[in-house]
Amino acid sequence: MKSLKKAAAVAAAAVLCVSMSVGVFASSPTDPEIPSVWGGNGTDKDGNKVTAMQTEELSKEVEEILKDEEQVKEILKEAGYEVTEDQNAVVLGAGNIELVDGQWDGMEMPEGGVDLELRLETGSWDWDTNTYVENETLKDLKDGDTVYVLHQKADGTWEVLEGTAVVENIYGYTYYSVKAHFDSLSPVAIVKIMSNGEVVVLDKEEKPVGTIKPGEKDPVGTIQPEKAEGKGDSKVVKTSSATTKKSPKTGN
Give the model's pLDDT for residue 16: 46
Cα–Cα dist 251/245, whole Å:
9
Q: Please give the average per-residue pLDDT across 226-240, as a whole number.
A: 37
- pLDDT tier, 215 (very low <50, low <70, confident <90, very high otherwise): low
pLDDT at 206: 65
User: If you average pLDDT over every residue of the chain, what do you get?
Assistant: 78
The model's confidence at residue 28, banded by pLDDT at 50, 70 and 90, is very low
CA distance 161 to 169: 26
pTM of the model: 0.71
Asked whether the beta carbons of 214 and 234 are under 8 A apart, the reply is yes
CA dist., res. 202 & res. 205, Å (int): 10
pLDDT, residue 10, reads 46
